[in-house]
Amino acid sequence: MEQKKLYISALPDYPEEIGRQLWMMEDVRRDLLHKLQDVTQEELDTPLDDNLSTIASLLYHIAEVETSWLYFDLLEQKKLAPHIEPWFPRSARSESGEIYSPPGESLEDHLNRLSVVRSDFLEKLRSVDLEDWRTFRSLPGEYDVTPEWIVYHLIEHEAHHRGQIFRILGTLRRR
């Protein structure tokens, strides 16, 4: 039996270093999508204990954060592109600041949002070269950030919430 080989590749059509980080982003997403294949509407919308966060709200939040970092930080724009804006009709937080999304949105809608957002992100990064990859964007009074750090942060962010989603799903299925 041939031993499985685990390695990091690079997404094509990007500089190698950038493509490798984007491959990592895509790898985190592949694992998430695989786990979500048979999630029911009830599992999507059921919070655990006193926490408002559900699988659905975490999926909305992942997409919203990715879009926010792309448009407001990396591209330094004041608003979302017209084809992205309709995917975010509401905030991803409750009035008390918890990650929240009203129940009832289908898994298909959440997956389509994630797909559109990721396609847009990857398309916008095609114009980034290695020099721009490490060029700071300045958000006066807040921070200076590079596209490289943004991608690192988005990998970390989605992996964290993917773990929460897997925990919620596992707990719900054990009940």
Predicted pLDDT at 140 = 84
Q: What residue ranges define each of the domains in the chain, with the CATH number in brackets?
A: 16-174 (1.20.120.450)
How would you classify residue 49: left for phi > 0, otherwise alpha for psi between -120 and 50, otherwise beta?
Answer: left
Please give the model's pTM, rounded to 2 decimal places. Answer: 0.95
Report which residue type is found at 143: Y
Strand 137-139 relative to strand 143-145, pairing: antiparallel
Q: Could you give the angle at which helices 16-35 and 107-125 cross, rounded to 10 degrees?
A: 180
Predicted pLDDT at 46 = 95
Displacement of CA 26 from its chain's centroid (Å): 10
Closest CA to 35 of 167, 174, 151, 154: 167
Distance CA 41, CA 69 (A): 29
- Chunked into runs of 10 residues, the chain (175 residues) has average pLDDT values of 92 96 98 96 91 92 97 96 96 87 94 98 97 94 96 98 96 92
| Collapsed DSSP state (helix, strand, coil) of residue 71 | helix
